[in-house]
Amino acid sequence: MQRKARFIAIFAVCLCLLAVVAWQVWDWLPPPLPPASTVAASTPKMRQYVRTPFIDDWDQAPLADMNAHAALNPGVAFLEGPTHRRLVALTFDDGPSPYTPALLDVLKKYHVHATFFWIGKHVQEYDDVARRALAEGHTLGNHTFTHPDISGTAADFWWDEQIGVTQDIFQRVIGKRPRLFRPPYGKIDDEEIKALNQHGLKTILWSVDTQDWNKNRWLFGRHHIERWIQQYIHEEAIILMHDGGGHRDQTVAAVDAVIPWLQQAGYQFVTVDQLLGIKDAYQ
């Protein structure tokens, strides 16, 4: 009886191991290309919303708040493009950083233009990288001066000390001021959105969060970032990634891997201003 019980236990363990191996093999197989939308490309979307799930206990804006900002501020705050064209906008936050040149090299290899929401103090430090990105056709946006949560703060903080001073830095470094703004952590209130619009700035959030701010720390981080995009991609998505704020080598590798897959799926890459039909990305 003991021998039989031991055999059953060993068999069960082997079966579990085989199941884990099979799951890993399945997870690493390239996923099928997403089908095209059954909705006509020019059809307006009924609403904008975040497709990726929320992770508890991280400094993120609640998804319901982000969805509400887009609904309450049409034409001023955005989560995604307005229709169903086979377009996608790659966006990168928190740079420029030592990882940005490698990312620019990858984008250049595929002739893809992206949108960068950068922190003012980093633009000062890596001014040559900022000028390179602009020269290579990427769109640059404002992401505050030091990356604080600005929601509910006074204007003499969120504008004078954060967004306005970063506009001035962009003016000195690239000779123009962005029209696109992304709040750190996605946290902002509707009064600030309206006030920023008076300053000539559109608020840009996202519909797909790759969560590379977390997955860069994982084993096989590149693979997980790539799969997250493939799982949640949709027409006219605005995809959130990061080129600063931590180790971003896995993000760079994921971008290198996922661009050809998206191109095979028929997606064209555009900057956020192109996606939203904003005629000039700068003031």
Indicate whether 245 belongs to any domain. yes
3-class DSSP state for residue 207?
coil
Provide the number of structural domains found in the chain: 1
State the pTM of this model: 0.90
- Closest CA relative to residue 178, chosen from 99, 278, 88, 270: 278
17 belongs to a structural domain: no
b/e code 69-97 from CB counts within 10 Å (16+ = b): bbeebeebbbbbbbbbbebbbbbbbbbbb
| Residue 188: closest CA among 166, 198, 178, 203 | 203
Distant-in-sequence contacts of 2-5, Cβ < 8 A, 24+ apart: none
DSSP 8-state code for residue 37: P
Q: Looking at 69, 84, 93, 94, which residue is catalytic?
A: 93
User: Cis peptide leading into 96, omega within 30 of 0?
Assistant: yes
Q: Does residue 120 fall inside a structural domain?
A: yes
In a domain, 37, yes or no: no
Is 140 inside a domain boundary?
yes
Tell whether 13 is covered by a domain. Answer: no
Burial of 11-23, coded b for 16+ CB within 10 Å and e otherwise, reads eeeeeeeeeeeee
* CATH code, domain with 149: 3.20.20.370
Structural contact between residues 125 and 244, judged by C-beta atoms closer than 8 angstroms: no
For residue 130, being part of any structural domain is answered with yes
3-state SS track over 237-267 = EEEEEECCCCCCHHHHHHHHHHHHHHHHCCC
3-state secondary structure 137-187: CCEEEECCCCCCCCCCCCHHHHHHHHHHHHHHHHHHHHCCCECEECCHHHC
- Asked whether residue 42 is domain-assigned, the answer is no
Residue 233, by phi and psi: left (phi above 0), alpha (psi -120 to 50) or beta? beta
242: annotated active-site residue: yes
* Sequential pLDDT tens for the chain (283 residues): 666 656 565 655 565 555 444 444 445 677 898 888 889 999 999 999 999 999 887 889 999 999 999 999 999 999 999 999 999 999 999 999 999 999 999 999 999 999 999 999 999 999 999 999 999 999 999 999 999 999 999 999 999 999 999 999 999 999 999 999 999 999 999 999 999 999 999 999 999 999 999 887 778 889 999 999 999 999 999 999 999 999 999 999 999 999 999 999 999 999 999 999 999 999 9
Tell me how far apart the alpha carbons of residues 249 and 218 are, in angstroms, rounded to a whole number.
12
Identify the active-site residue in 113, 143, 224, 242: 242
Which tokens belong to 138?
């990427």
Q: Which domain holds residue 189?
A: 50-276
